[in-house]
Structure formats: structure tokens, C-alpha cells
Structure 1
Amino acid sequence: MSRQGPKKKGPVAFLFLGETLLIPHLYPIVEALAADGDVAIDLWVATSVHETLLTRWSEGLTGVRIRRVPGFRRIADAGEGQNPPLPPKIPTLLRLLPHLLRARAAVCAEQTSLWLPRLLPLRTPFVKTSHGVGSMSARDDPRRRAAAVMMVPSERERATYLERGFDPARVVATGYVKASFRQRSMTNLPFAEPRPTILYAPHWQRHRSSWWAWGADTVRRIAQDGRWNLIFAPHQRLAEGAPEVRAVMDEVRGLPNVHCDMDGFAMVDGSYTAAADLYLGDTSSQVIEFLQRPRPCVFLNAGGVEWRGDPSYAQWTCGEVVNDVGDLLPMLARAPAVHDSFAAIQARFAGDSLGDTRGSAPARAARVIRDLLDKRA
């Protein structure tokens, strides 16, 4: 499960305690930090699903070991990375605390872990890396101020934190780490015919999502129309507030032009954003990953928001916006024809949001962690 060589620094604790969607934002940093073999790295995993994936990928990485958190859950899984039920995070963190106190640094991609440095006077510095990026990111969450270092993708994103009074030395633009994630699980989509493919990815929070007002209707209209293949892959957490989403999936799952996924690793590892020809969504940051390679986009304004000029909806400048669900299919049909008028906007928006996507972001993130270890030494 691990290979131990000479270690001069660490251990550094990477916290894989949340949904599988966090893994691609953390694991490329693990690979970069392990490259020189001089840092001890502990990958703390909450379930056997996480353990199986990380064990497979980290074979051969020097100094990396997989460790089970107190309350570790064993899940029946075929090794495909289906999103598992998780142990409660706060009790898990409290039981993990004695181990984290012995770490030289802890790295996380979610806010929940930051309750520890937020509430307790810990000597172990926490490094927070972004998972996703977008105009609606919860930048004002007070837990973020507890991180010793916040790693963000771009200088534009960094500026949003400096405007809120964050210490410039503690907010570092690294580039978009997930762009370097290599372990994609799906390269060929399972459709009967090679039609243009739409990715519909509604957000999981009601106030930000198109699902509750238009979602089921949207899926049915596209599926029944027959001009497109549809990947219906909402945020993993949508079913928490909208359990009916699984019934809609069951309704259309057998159609030859529909592929549904709510728990699979392909929906979080970049497989679908890479494969789709057209993005359909609301406020999910997945669109920015999709726009690493500019392509047609259509956005659903199911809440009738007055969005123009509102920086929270900046991504809606990257495509046409549907204000009446009756206009959905005509807008999807013309999206490729009007794409030229949005392509430059998309490229600029993605570049400003994601920063460097050419593969050097994990090395920059690893350098941030190494600098922190050097300061502590």
C-alpha cells in the first residue's frame, strides 16, 4: 500500500474525507509533492472507495502511504469509484485530530476540515486548495480565513480574496490543479449513434439551480427530441435536496441517446466536460472546466434572475440564456451557429478564471507546501 524511502520532511496529511469530486483537485498535488521522494505523505481516506482508487494510482510513489481515518467505512464497490456514503465529517475530524497534530501540514479541498484550525489553536498549518472555481464561490465563508495558505487557480480569483482583506502572503495563485488530473475513467461514451452530445449539469443548491423549476422538463424535451445525445450528470449532492432526480434518471436511462450518471467517477474526473459538444447548465463551475476548450454553451435562467451586470452570473456571458423553457430546443439547435460570437469571450473568461491549465499547477502547489515545511523547520 506504500513505499517508504528516506524522508527529510513531513509528514504532510492530505484529507480525502469528502465526496469523490474532491479527489481530482487534490491528487495531482500528491503526485507533484512525491516526485522527489523526500517528503512523507499520508493520504487519509474515509472509505474503501477512496482507498481503492488512491492505492491503485499511488503504486510506485515514494513516501506515500494510505491511512484509514477513525470511523473508516468499507463499501461494496467494484473499484470504479462510485461516490460512497461518507462517515460524518465533524466526528471524523475530531477523532483524526491526534494524528493531524503530529503532521507538519494538512491539505484539504473543502471547508469542513477548516473547522479545526478555525476553532482550535493548532500548530499544524492547514493548506486549502480550491475545488472548482466560479463567480458564485463562497469566498466569504469565515473558515477560509483559518487556512495558513489558500491556493486558488488564478490571479483574478486571488484578487477577490484580497478585496476581502485576506493577507496577500496567504493567498497564492497556482493555476487549475484539476486540469492535470490524468486518471480519467471514460473516453468513449456509450451512445448508439454519434449525434452531437449535450452535457446537462444542474447545480445542487436550490437557489442556484435550474433543476427544481425546469430540470425534469429539460431532460425529457432533449431525450424525446432525438437530435442530440444527452449526458445527464448533475452535481453529486443534488439528490440530497431533490431525491426525485433518481426517478427521472430511471425514466430515461434506457433510451439509446441518454446517459445518466450521478455517482460515477466519470462525472467528477473531467470525462464528460472533455467529451461533450455543448454545455447546458445554470451556475455550476463545471462550465469553466468545459471552456478550457471553448465550445457552445446555453444557460437556464429558471429563476428569472436579472443577471446582466451581476458578477455572480459572469459565466452567462459565455452563451445564450434561456428565459422561457419553451425556447430551450431552438436555442440548443442554434448554439453551434452563434458560437463564433461567444468564442473569444469564453476563452478570456476561462483563462481569467482557471489561470494556468498547461500542467504546471500541481508543481506550484507542491512548492507552496514545501515552502511551508521549510518555514516550520
Structure 2
Amino acid sequence: MKKKSVGFLFLGPISHIYHSISIAFHLSNYPDFDVTLFVSSELNLKLVNTISKSYKYHQCEIEYLYPSILHKALRLFKKRAHPRVRNVLQNNKNKLINFDALVLTDRHFINGGRKKPFYFLTGHGAGDRARGFTDTMKKFDFIFVSGKEKWQRMAKLNYISEERGCIIGYPKFEIVSLKKKNGTLFKNNNPIVLYNPHFNKNETSWYLWGEQILNFFLNNKNYNLIFAPHLILFSKETEPIDTKYYHSKNIHIDINSHALVDMTYTIAADIYLGDVSSQVYEFVGYKKRPCIFLNPHHAEWQDNSSFRMWKMGDVIDTMDNFEQALLKSETTHPLFYHIQKELIENTFSTTEQSAGKRGADAIVAFFEKNRTDCRSALCDNSLAR
């Protein structure tokens, strides 16, 4: 019997790689599957090679995909970490449509053509934002979900069913558990605060409160600050942060390294400070600790499922309350401990098997149930993206 060919697409931000690559490594050890990891940037290639060292027995092939010549030329004048995903997909369509399945972390489909692979979605985070729940999900043949909370929300929207998805846990935790421990960032034992603003201008705290927050820590040396924003917050800016903050011994600034996405900072910090980034779940999932949420846009969050994470700590609507919230964060944390515990249990499913192995087993089971060569509803060109 011919082996099933499965391609894993790592064509976007490096942060996405952590959410599906362990599935690929486990799947590659099944004798009936050929697995290819596709990258389109040197940055992603480097990270894929680095992570692969922790899976010495994997059988994956790694292949570089290029954008069109025109797009490649235009990129010379733009600051982008990777080529546009849609351009890379279109330029390599004839290769990719011949795979039996493609595993995606986002929602970019191949444009045009009658033959289509099965599409699997892993997603790329554990957050609650409305943007993570859209009708595009109906176009996938199978969706991997980290826990029962997201499953229930997606099921209510008819995005998922027992035939079209399963809960596997959080593959990123598997990768992080294998990496070496990092050294200390500060030469003191003061509390470490992680400030992790999102990139979306309508939701981030950075543009309204960011400078005030940096100034607070600049003037309060009894705290250490890790400023580690979302990877793409400053992706189009060259020097977004004043050098005076870099020179402060109690402030560590990182706006573009791998450490932003490999949980280096969520593990190191004592207190989480942020807005709508899903990294707060990784922070609390690793260890339950105090959280402070910033609401400069005055979002009505209390009964909004897109702000479920804000139940895990104090929410401040004005910077006048910031210092007080920080001072009392340790003493008020017990009030939020059980809420954090409940939300984490509902967000991340854990079993004796790793998330990567559970995901690989699910792909194998999917093909056992779909032994014919006919493709899914995605064969309809009207659904192509």
C-alpha cells in the first residue's frame, strides 16, 4: 500500500512551529506515513533544525519553499521575517496539492485547482480572542484542540464535531519540556514582572500605557521587568524603544528573539502583566502565579468569553491603579488560585501520552476511517482561499 504523504507548513511566524512540529515527529515514525516539514525562511529552518535534535529518531524530510521571483524582489524593500504565506503557497501549489494531507497552524488554503489534500488545523495558541473563532474553521477536515473549553465553544459554533476533530492537549508544552534550562536574567532576587502586550492596536495596552509602564520600572528598581511583547508588535519598526530602558539593569528588553516564543520568559517571571495575549495561559499553565490585566480600551469583559483569561487576576482600567495592583499581587493571588486551576484544567488536556503523540495517533485514525482517494468538501473551488 502506498504511504500517505503529510506536509506540515511552517511558513509564518516562528511561534507557530511549536504548535504542531511534535505531531510531525511522532507521525514520521509510523511506517505508512511520509512526513515533510515545509519552511520558507532561514529563521524557521534554523528553529526546525534545533527542535529536531530533541527527536533523534524522527523520519521527517525538511524542504524549503520559495516565493515567486517578483515577490522575492519586492521583499528586499520590506522588513518581513518571512515571505507572504499566500504567495509561497500559490508558487508551490502543484507540489502541495499532491500531498494526502496538509497540517496548518493558520488558515491559509491553496488557491485554485480541483484536487485538494485533507486539511488539518492545529491553531497556534490557547487564547480566547474572538479572532480565534471564525467560520473559516468549517473548511477544515479535522481540527486539533488543546482542551474542553475551546472544544465546547467551537462545537456551539458548529466548527467541530467528533468526526472532525479531537482534544489532544497542548503540543508546545512537549517541546518546552525538552529544552535546556536558561540562566538567570538578573543579578538580584527581586520579583520579576513579565510585560507581554499584544500586537493588535485595538486591544494592546502598549500604545496607550506602554511608556508609562516602562517608566515605572525605570524608577522602581525593587522590581525587575522583562519586556517581551508579541513577536510582531514591532515587526515593522526599526528602533521602537528608547535606549535609556536598555541601559537599566532591572529591565530586560527582547522584541525579536526566539525567547519570545519558547516560554523562556513565562517560566522565569513571578508576575504576569498583559492584555489579550494567549501567553498568559502558558504562564499559568507552567505554574500558577499572580496576573495583572491591563484594560486601557475599557473593554466590557466580565461576561465576554473572549476575555475568559481576565478572570485569573486583577484587571485595571486606569494607570492610577497600577502600582497598587502590583504591590498587592502576591497577597491577592490566593483569591485567584482556584480560578486559575479550573481554567488551566479546562484549557489544557493532559494524559499519560504527550500532545504530539495524541495528534499523530489522531491523523493515523483519520486515514483509517477515510481509506478512499476522494477528497473532502474542500474539493469545491468555491471554498478555496
Find out whether 1:89 has 2:82 as its counterpart. no
Within 1, Cα distance between the matches of 2:92 and 2:152?
A: 34
Find out whether 1:291 has 2:287 as its counterpart. no
- The residue type paired with residue 102 of structure 1 is N
What's the Cα RMSD here?
2.5
Find out whether 1:52 has 2:46 as its counterpart. yes
Structure 1 residue 358, shift from structure 2 partner: 6.5
Structure 1 residue 179, shift from structure 2 partner: 1.3
2:155 alignment partner, one of 145, 150, 162: 162
- The residue type paired with residue 63 of structure 2 is R
What's 2:379 paired with? Answer: none
Find out whether 1:239 has 2:234 as its counterpart. yes
What's 1:198 paired with? Answer: 193
- The residue type paired with residue 233 of structure 2 is L
Long gaps (5+) in structure 2: 70-78, 373-385
Structure 1 residue 271, shift from structure 2 partner: 1.3
Long gaps (5+) in structure 1: 1-6, 74-82
Local SS of the residue matching 2:40:
strand
Matches within 5 A, 1:351-370: 351-356=345-350, 360-370=354-364
Per-residue CA deviation, residues 64-86 of structure 1 (Å, 9 max, x unaligned), is: 1110102399xxxxxxxxx9621
Matches within 5 A, 1:1-377: 9-36=3-30, 38-58=32-52, 60-71=56-67, 85-111=81-107, 113=108, 115-116=109-110, 121-168=114-161, 169-182=163-176, 184=179, 187-240=182-235, 243=237, 246-248=239-241, 250-292=243-285, 293-356=287-350, 360-374=354-368, 375-376=370-371
Within 2, Cα distance between the matches of 1:253 and 1:358?
A: 43
Bigger mean CA offset, 7-16 vs 272-281: 7-16
Percent of matched pairs sharing the same residue: 27
Q: Is the Cα contact below 8 Å between 1:39 and 1:63 reproduced in 2? A: no
Bigger mean CA offset, 163-172 vs 148-157: 163-172
Bigger mean CA offset, 38-47 vs 133-142: 133-142
Q: How many residues align?
A: 358
Local SS of the residue matching 1:363:
helix
Local SS of the residue matching 1:247:
coil
TM-score normalised by L of structure 2: 0.86
Runs of 4+ deviating beyond 6 Å: none
Q: Is the Cα contact below 8 Å between 2:195 and 2:226 reproduced in 1? A: yes
Within 2, Cα distance between the matches of 1:189 and 1:84?
A: 31
Local SS of the residue matching 1:230:
strand
- The residue type paired with residue 257 of structure 1 is N
Within 2, Cα distance between the matches of 1:194 and 1:274?
A: 15
Within 1, Cα distance between the matches of 2:10 and 2:329?
A: 39
Local SS of the residue matching 1:106:
strand
Local SS of the residue matching 2:39:
strand
TM-score normalised by L of structure 1: 0.88
Within 2, Cα distance between the matches of 1:87 and 1:233?
A: 24
Local SS of the residue matching 1:303:
coil
Q: Is the Cα contact below 8 Å between 1:301 and 1:323 reproduced in 2? A: yes
Residues 309, 62 of structure 1: alpha-carbon distance in 2 compared, 3 angstrom cutoff:
closer
What's 1:78 paired with? Answer: none
- The residue type paired with residue 330 of structure 2 is P
Within 1, Cα distance between the matches of 2:351 and 2:255?
A: 26
Bigger mean CA offset, 161-170 vs 287-296: 161-170
Q: Is the Cα contact below 8 Å between 2:121 and 2:140 reproduced in 1? A: yes
